[in-house]
Structure 1
Amino acid sequence: MTKTSFGLNAPHIDLGLLFLRLSGAFMLFHVHGWPKIVHYSEELVRIEDPFGLGTTFSLLAAIFAEVICAGLIAIGLLTRLACLPVIAVLVVSMLIVHPQWSIAEGQFGWLLLIIFTAIALCGPGRFSVDAMFARKQED
């Protein structure tokens, strides 16, 4: 069994990354992405347009990050790349759209930002489509 520099078994780290990917992607999709799809017209009126690109662009960008990228992260496909739009949407939301929020008011957003930044830094782990493709390339 492979040990890391911290003496942890690598499979435990891979399980932790799998858990982060699945739980983070589920929460992002369930709380933010799915409601934007189901209530698209209401969200189009309600969504902020922080860069003046139009509410349609802002909503589609959020849906891309919170639905498409969340799905890619969950299965571990193009994981690090898929984390970037999610991180961008969260940073814009927390620092530009809602700068008045206290940490307590924005804790869900900050926790999602922590989760997806950790995944972007660490990668998807062994239990991912990315890792499966990497193993096939080694053969």
Structure 2
Amino acid sequence: MNFSEYLTKFADPIGVGPAVSLQLTIFAEFFCSILLALGFMTRWALIPLMITMIVAVFIAHGGDPFGHKEVGLLYLTIFISLFLSGPGNISMDAQILKKNRYR
């Protein structure tokens, strides 16, 4: 929301410009989150989400107190756990792989 408002004042922690940083963050937090919720391309969708949380927690909010980083660290922990454990049995990934095995 309010993309044009944040376009010039969004943080640029990795040096690619505020507009590109905002677009990458939107891509990760919107599109990759939808893929994760659907269970489609789960591990691939988690990579941009983990990178976004690492940048947010350790670079953008690096000097902030723990209370400001707590939610980001929680999400990062969940994303890493999901990446390591993989999608579940009822995910789209599992259903697609199951169909391809029987052919």
Q: Same fold (TM over 0.5)?
A: yes
Match of 1:57 among 14, 20, 23: 20
Residue identity opposite 2:47 in structure 1: L
1:59 shift after superposition: 0.6
1:9-36 Cα offsets, whole Å, 9 max, x none, are xxxxxxxxxxxxxxxxxxxxxxxxxxxx
Match of 1:118 among 65, 81, 84: 81
Structure 1 unaligned segments of length 5 or more: list them: 1-37
Indicate whether 1:74 and 2:29 are aligned. no
Report the Cα distance in structure 2 between the residues aligned to 1:94 and 1:125, rounded to whole angstroms: 27
TM-score norm. by structure 1 comes to 0.70
Would the aligned equivalents of 2:8 and 2:19 in 1 still touch at CA under 8 Å? no
After superposition, the CA RMSD in angstroms is 1.0
Residue of structure 1 equivalent to 2:61 = 98
Match of 2:7 among 32, 40, 44: 44
Residue identity opposite 1:85 in structure 2: P
Indicate whether 1:89 and 2:68 are aligned. no
Q: Which runs of 4+ in 1 moved over 4 A?
A: none
1:86 shift after superposition: 0.4
Higher relative contact order (CA 8 A, sep 6+): 1
Matches within 5 A, 1:7-46: 38-46=1-9
Structure 2 unaligned segments of length 5 or more: list them: none
How many residues matched?
A: 102
Residue identity opposite 1:60 in structure 2: Q
TM-score norm. by structure 2 comes to 0.93
Report the Cα distance in structure 1 between the residues aligned to 2:78 and 2:9, rounded to whole angstroms: 26
1:56 shift after superposition: 1.2
Report the Cα distance in structure 1 between the residues aligned to 2:63 and 2:80, rounded to whole angstroms: 22
1:138 shift after superposition: 1.2
